[in-house]
Amino acid sequence: MHRAAAPTRPGLVLVAMLLAMLTGCVGIPTGGPVTEGQEITEEDAGDFDFFPVGPVDGASQSDILRGFVAAFTGSANDYSVARQFLSSGFADEWNPRASVTVRDANERLSPVDDDTIAYSVNASATVNSSGAYRQNADPVPVTLPFDFVLEDDQWRISAAENGIVLADVTFRAIFDQHSLYFLDPTNEYLVPDIRWFASGTATLRIVAGVLDGPPDWLQGAVRTAFPDGTQLADPQVDIESSVAIVDLSTEALGAEPSERQLMQLQLSTSLATVPNVRGVSISVSGTPLEIPELAASAPVLNPQVDDRPVVLRGDDFGYLSGDSVTSLRGLGSRVVETSPRAAATDGDSVAVLGAAGVSLVRPDDAPTVLLDDRAGLVAPTIDHNGFVWSGVAGAPQTLRISTADGTVGSVDTGLSSDLSLVSVDLSRDGTRLAMLLSNGSVSRLVIKAVNRDASRSQLPVALSESVLDISLPAGSAIDATWVDDRSVAVLTAARDDEGEQGSVSVFELGGERSSLGQPGIATALIGGNGPSGLRALGADSTILARSGVGWTDTGDEVTLIATQY
In the chain, count H helices and then E strands.
7, 36
**pLDDT (tens digit per residue) in 459-508:** 999 999 999 999 887 778 999 999 999 999 999 998 776 678 899 999 99
HSE of 174, CA atoms in CB hemisphere, 13 A: 24
Split at pLDDT 50, 70, 90, the class of 291 is very high
How much is the pLDDT for 113?
96
pLDDT score recorded for residue 356: 98
Compute the C-alpha angle 447/449/455, nearest 5°: 150
The order of strands in the sheet holding 513-515 is 476-482, 487-496, 499-508, 513-515
Whether residue 5 has pLDDT greater than 90: no
- Identify whether the C-beta of residue 533 lies closer than 8 Å to the C-beta of residue 504: no
Residue 206: what residue type? I
Burial 217-253 (b: 16+ CB within 10 A, else e): bbebbbbbbbbeebeeeeeebeeeeeebbbbbbeebe
Residue 245 has what pLDDT? 96
Residue 27 pLDDT > 70: no
Q: Contacts for 389-397 with beta carbons within 8 Å, 24 or more apart?
A: 389/424, 389/426, 389/433, 389/460, 390/357, 390/358, 391/421, 391/424, 392/421, 393/420, 393/421, 393/422, 394/420, 394/421, 395/421, 396/420, 396/421, 396/435, 396/437
Mean pLDDT, rounded, of the chain: 90
CATH node for 310-564: 2.120.10.30
φ/ψ of 294, rounded to 5, equals: -70, 135
pLDDT at 272: 96
| CA–CA separation, 456 and 504 (whole Å) | 38
As a whole number, mean pLDDT of residues 21-33 equals 36
Question: Has residue 49 got a pLDDT over 70?
Answer: no
CB 400 within 8 A of CB 381: no
pLDDT score, position 217:
96
Q: Is the pLDDT of residue 39 over 90?
A: no
CATH ID of 201-301, from 1.20.120, 1.10.540, 3.30.300, 3.30.70: 3.30.300
Q: What is the rounded average pLDDT of the residues 380-400?
A: 96
pLDDT value of residue 15: 35
List of E strands, 393-473 = 395-403, 406-412, 420-426, 432-438, 443-453, 459-471
Distance CA 29, CA 45 (A): 22
- 3-class SS letters over 218-284: HECCEECCCCCCCCECCCCCEEECCEEEEEECHHHHHCCHHHHHHHHHHHHHHHHHCCCCCEEEEEE
Element (H, E) at 332: helix 332-336
Closest CA to 478 of 496, 495, 499, 492: 492
Comma-separated ranges of CATH 2.120.10.30 domains in the chain:
310-564
Asked whether the beta carbons of 242 and 278 are under 8 A apart, the reply is: yes
Residue 188's alpha-carbon distances to 40, 183, 296, 406, 484, in angstroms, are 46, 7, 12, 26, 16
Q: What is the pLDDT of residue 118?
A: 98
d(CA 215, CA 217): 6
Q: Is the pTM of this model over 0.85?
A: yes
CA distances from 337 to 106, 313, 564 (A): 60, 13, 20
Question: Which of residues 229 and 137 earns the better pLDDT score?
Answer: 229
Least confident piece of the model among 49-53, 153-157, 507-511: 49-53
Predicted confidence (pLDDT) per residue in 119-171, tens digit: 999 999 999 999 999 988 789 999 999 999 999 999 999 999 999 999 999 99
Please compute the mean of the pLDDT values over residues 226-232 and round it to a whole number.
Answer: 97
Residue 383: pLDDT over 70: yes
| Other residues' Cβ atoms within 10 Å of the Cβ of residue 314 | 12
Q: Where in the chain is the domain with CATH 3.30.300?
A: 201-301
- Considering the chain, what percentage of its residues have pLDDT values greater than 90? 83
6 — pLDDT class (breaks 50, 70, 90): very low
Where does the pLDDT of residue 448 fall: very low under 50, low under 70, confident under 90, or very high at 90 and above? very high
DSSP code, position 379: P
